[in-house]
Structure 1
């Protein structure tokens, strides 16, 4: 673990950990919405499981993009309303 932190840098490693936690949280939400568990998913036949895993990954990606888009648009709108020029921003993906 320490080697990984050294290789990536503390900030990048921490952001990666936050992102992975966010993806896990969203995955759990999706499974719950579909009435599934990890055990139930593991018990599916290979074709069904592959299809479900693909659908879950696509939904995770869609939800993360939606959140990021909303945050960026909100920040840009607030800056424009305040008369500030658009500025680069960092989105905190805390879980």
Structure 2
């Protein structure tokens, strides 16, 4: 993905109002019915700079590509009895299941 400020055509020090206005102008120019790929690119860029928290995250971490969502905690603690049991896994399983943990 290209840098979101370049996609929206605004400088990095633009105000939220300037970014929003540029986004709306580009949406009028590239409606989703006529240019779905460009519309998706605009939406992705907007989500990266939509508010001050998102802009700060972008400034600190930059563009990071995550093709897959993070694994669920249940995948990290399998229920298979064939695996060796480590101390404390029952505690975390019960905690993740929103039940009262017991000590093993």
> What is the TM-score of this pair, normalised by structure 2?
0.26
Pick the structure with greater CA Rg: 2
Tell me the TM-score normalised to structure 1 length: 0.27
Higher relative contact order (CA 8 A, sep 6+): 1
